[in-house]
Amino acid sequence: MLSARTVAVRILSDIERNLGYSNIAIDSALNEAKLSKQDSALVSMLVYGVLQRKITLDVILENASGKGFKKTHPYVLNVLRVGAYQLLFTDKIPASAVVNEAVKTVKSSKQKFASGFVNALLRKVESEKESIKSSLDTSKDIGFKYSCTKELADLLITDYGYETADLFLKSSLEAPKLFCRDNLFCESKFNPETLTQKGIEVELNSVNGCFSLKGAGNIENLSEFKKGMFFVQDLASQTAIAALDIKADMSVLDVCAAPGGKSFTAAQYVGKEGKVVSCDLYEKRSGLIQNGAKRLNIGIVSAIQNDATVFNSSLGTFDRVICDVPCSGLGVIRRKPEIKYKSVADFKQLAEIQLSILKTSARYLKQDGVLMYSTCTLLKSENRCVVDSFLNENKGFEIIDERTLMPHTDGCDGFYYCILKRNSCG
């Protein structure tokens, strides 16, 4: 059986090679490896930890090794990252065990000749641990300090100033809370006490129906989850849907809905006499929405394949429209840290697509209807700038609410929403 550290190194190498998402790569590898619960938790901790601090780790390792570091084989580099992460940012594993396991991992690979290099470099990192941590604490370079590209750090500083950018990136290294929502369509009423009795901490939130769980493990194993009593949705999304002021019996269109969380929450507000139409560009993803609605017994949700950039007159008009557009995803880097390392150039074409979706979505609104434009990013070029472009072309709309949510101030994912209302004369 493969060791936890070997599995972690292989996952990191796979993500790097295939540009994959960490959550998908981890789930796939763990299903195949058949590790114990404890080792599986260690793998997840190591992979997310290294991804969160990759740039920081690479700078530290390069400084410690000197010349030739850039020629290090990718597999060996990931062994070093895993080792250095444990030495510098965890305190439960003895340094000797960290180094020994790293050497074992290299010796069991095709790069076994590098075992001496790994041993020497990690021992040097350990010997310089205090000075390394001190330099991190005092550094004003937030790209190095919190592990993100300079261009991303500069963008955040331009949009929000140094202090807010610093606090946001610092929060990106913290574990996010697990937020859930009560499902009113379930025949069995959810009672938080049943989870408390299992040793799970349940904390109710100011948003009605929202609560967070701590110590739940894999919630898919909980009988309450299996019965559809609640579903997972971050506080940010729940806050945004609450701001949309959806009333009972209304009709709601969710134009970019997969995997369906916002549609399911909207359904809680419209009730059994309302209507929610959930769309996605791909048939497979619209199928995911339908399966989720079925699990939760939400019969009023209809999932269909539809291109959000192209107006579809057959959909009709709606009281509320949810326009949660594809974006750079910087608000969820606590969950998907690999997003931090994408080139900012990859984000530049998004605003055009986002504006196209917003303009098309507005055509589905009834007179006096209300639309929510939202993203899970913090870049103003994808948020208020898109809204301003829309308003310049659509004088019949006005902003009635707008908010940017931040992990360090609101305790949730980074998120932006803007509530737009069509005027009766628009």
Catalytic residue list: 376
Q: What is the chain's Cα-based Rg?
A: 24
A 10 A CB-CB count for 363 gives 12
Which amino acid, one-letter code, is at 67? K
Mark 77-96 as b/e (b = at least 16 C-beta within 10 Å). bbbbbbbbbbbbbeeeeebe
Which amino acid, one-letter code, is at 300? I
Contacts of 122 (CB under 8 A, 6+ apart): 80, 83, 84, 87, 98, 99, 102
CA–CA gap between residue 70 and residue 197 (Å, rounded): 52
A 10 A CB-CB count for 37 gives 9
Tell me the CA end-to-end span of the chain in Å, nearest whole number.
66
Beta pairing partners, 181: 210, 231
Count of residues for the chain? 426
DSSP states of 360-425 as a string? HHHTTEEEEEEEEEEES---GGGTHHHHHHHHHH-TTEEEEEEEEE-HHHHSS--EEEEEEEE-TT
Contacts of 301 (CB under 8 A, 6+ apart): 260, 263, 264, 267, 276, 277, 278, 289, 290, 293
What is the β-pairing status of strands 275-280 and 251-254?
A: parallel
Contacts of 174 (CB under 8 A, 6+ apart): 334, 407
Q: How far is CA 423 from CA 93, 237, 371, 418, in A?
A: 61, 25, 12, 16
